[in-house]
Amino acid sequence: MTLHRRDFLKIAGAGLAASLLAKPAFSATRSKPHVVVVGAGFGGATCAKYLRLWDPNIQVTLIEPNDKFYSCPMSNWVIGGLRNMDDLTKSYEHLPGYGIKMVKDTAIGVDADWRVVTTRRGKKIAYDRLVLAPGIEFMTDLVEGYAEGEAAGKVLHAWKAGPQTLALRKQLEAMPDGGVFVIASPPPPGRCVSGPYERASLVAHYFKQHKPRSKIIMLDGHIDVVSKGPMFKAAWKQFYPGMIEHRPNNQVVKVDHKTMVVTSEFEDVKADVINIVPKQRAGDICAQAGVRADSAGVWCPVNGATFESPTVPFVHVLGDSVATNMPKSAHVSNNQAKICAAALVELFNGREPDPYPVIGSTSYSATSDHTAGPIAVVMRHDPEKGTYVRQPGGGASPEGDEINFEYNKAWFEHIWADTLG
């Protein structure tokens, strides 16, 4: 069944029109408004697709440097040996069928005054509205020695699906039985807060089968297992007793790839395989556009009803780059994209967007090769507070089970299809 824009707006909590939102501003010299979308991930590709579905009069150009889509969800399954890279590598082949113009290139600059995007290959692409969904970049300079270790192939983050996913898997395969795998994750905010705990679980599953004397040490910048904590702790106790050692409030500040020693604020830890996820910030194109404008210059504030930047008109930001109290997850990015697309359709047609959109967030985590559990919340935008407010109900599963493992697999397939067509 086709989901029309009006149906989504009903689901998203249609409300009274907001009088203060921006009016449409596309060029009078063009009969059709033009939206340029940067980044074909869960945010960008979804927004481009739904813009075309909900208003075929809107021209959409999607700029993406990669030939294929690599899903971060399920990448831990590859690292833990449950799946291979083919399972999370998807094609963009269906997107042009929606009337989306695909440009294989990298956006490197934005002239917000003239509303032009510049690409690495020298293209100048004019827009009426610009949607930035570049994901994250890593602040590797905050961990002494990280850059040298990554260059030597000894220190990986594997926090973007692709070559590092396979490289980390190979490091674990080559690690001796009885070795130590160190996972270091930063304090919030950042992409997929539950991801390191799922990674520890699935690597422990691999060790249990093939390297049972090995150990995992988690140096966690959070105060505790902050996402699905009871579920992960129960799984570690049940499936991997004594194999995973979680050390909270333990942010990494230095790494030496020659001695394979990781230094946190409190201790030095010797490792055989080092997996450090550095602190993150919005992608560089957001800085070029002037929308990486929170107090720390790290994330991008937005109007939650339209995802337009409050500092740069006609520029919208989606996904992990957004400064928000929402999780930085695939499902949230996908929902933000639909809200943004619906808002743009309204603006281009001289109407006001819904000021009270609703975002649902569901995130599954596997705890073994046959158990998983979700966390699910619903958030409604409050224009007076200028933020999304969590609604009653929802929450995290206290333990993983087999039925949620099957739901987890189905969730993957659904969100890939919804994003990529």
pLDDT tens digits, residue range 99-130? 999 999 999 999 999 999 999 999 999 999 99
Say how far apart CA 162 and CA 70 lie, in whole Å.
6
Per-residue pLDDT, 18:
31
What is the β-pairing status of strands 268-270 and 261-264?
antiparallel
Say how far apart CA 44 and CA 9 lie, in whole Å.
19
Tokens of 418: 């919804």
Per-residue pLDDT, 31:
78
Per-residue pLDDT, 388:
97
Q: What is the rounded average pLDDT of the residues 196-207?
A: 98
Sheet holding 129-132, edge to edge: 100-103, 59-63, 34-38, 129-132, 315-317
Please write the tens of the pLDDT for every residue from 155-187.
999 999 999 999 999 999 999 999 999 999 999
**Contact (CB, 8 A) for 164 and 72:** no
Tokens of 79: 């690292």
**Contact (CB, 8 A) for 224 and 248:** yes
Q: Is a pLDDT exceeding 70 seen at residue 222? A: yes
**Contact (CB, 8 A) for 320 and 307:** no
Question: Residue type for 162, please?
Answer: G
Among 28-32, 148-152, 352-356, the range scoring the smallest mean pLDDT is 28-32
Please write down the HEC assignment for all residues of 173-222.
HHCCCCCEEEEEECCCCCCCCCHHHHHHHHHHHHHHHHCCCCEEEEEECC
Q: Is a pLDDT exceeding 80 seen at residue 2? A: no
Please state at what angle helix 402-420 crosses helix 44-54, rounded to 10 degrees: 60
4 compared with 327, residue with greater pLDDT: 327
Per-residue pLDDT, 80:
98
Q: Which of 336, 330, 333 is nearest to 411 (CA)?
A: 330
Q: What is the rounded average pLDDT of the residues 35-44?
A: 98
Q: Please state, in angstroms and as integers, the Cα–Cα distance from residue 141 to each residue in 42, 132, 185, 279, following that order.
A: 27, 24, 15, 9
Per-residue pLDDT, 9:
42
Element (H, E) at 50: helix 44-54
Per-residue pLDDT, 11:
40
Per-residue pLDDT, 13:
38
- The band of 411, judged by pLDDT with boundaries at 50, 70 and 90, is very high
| Residue carrying the six token digits 């106790």 | 237
Q: What is the rounded average pLDDT of the residues 301-316?
A: 98
Per-residue pLDDT, 330:
97
Per-residue pLDDT, 30:
56
14 compared with 297, residue with greater pLDDT: 297
Domains of the chain in sequence order:
5-138+281-353 (3.50.50.60), 141-279 (3.50.50.60)
Say how far apart CA 326 and CA 389 lie, in whole Å.
9
Q: Is a pLDDT exceeding 90 seen at residue 26? A: no
Mean pLDDT, the chain, as a whole number? 93
Q: Is a pLDDT exceeding 50 seen at residue 335? A: yes
Say how far apart CA 161 and CA 114 lie, in whole Å.
35
Please write the tens of the pLDDT for every residue from 283-299.
999 999 999 999 999 99
Please write the tens of the pLDDT for every residue from 231-245.
999 999 999 999 999
Among 4-18, 105-119, 256-270, the range scoring the smallest mean pLDDT is 4-18
